[in-house]
């Protein structure tokens, strides 16, 4: 039963993050990603991803395209 509750909670968090990403993308006209970062789901704009790569937050050689490919959700 505990596993079922964890699944529903994870699904709820994912749906909430997707809604937030869509809302922000529509509001600001930027591309947003839902990614698993730091142990939780984060809604991050593409511009911030570029900054994080420049600051070496990700491993050497990681590009924006790699992150976009592994993102859980990408707005258009």
Q: Where are the domains of the chain?
A: 2-74
User: 10-residue block means of pLDDT along the chain (76 residues)?
Assistant: 95 97 96 94 95 92 95 94
Q: What is the DSSP letter of 53?
A: H
Q: What is the DSSP letter of 44?
A: E
Global pTM value: 0.85
Q: Is residue 7 a contact partner of residue 42, using CB atoms and an 8 Å limit?
A: no
Q: Is residue 58 a contact partner of residue 5, using CB atoms and an 8 Å limit?
A: no
């Amino acid at each position: 039963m505990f596993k079922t509750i964890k699944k529903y909670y994870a699904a709820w968090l994912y749906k909430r993050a997707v809604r937030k990403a869509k809302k922000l993308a529509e509001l600001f006209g930027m591309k947003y990603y839902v990614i698993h970062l730091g142990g939780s789901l984060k809604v991050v704009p593409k511009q911030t991803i570029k900054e994080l790569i420049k600051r070496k937050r990700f491993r050497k050689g990681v590009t924006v395209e790699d992150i976009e490919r592994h993102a859980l959700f990408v707005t258009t």
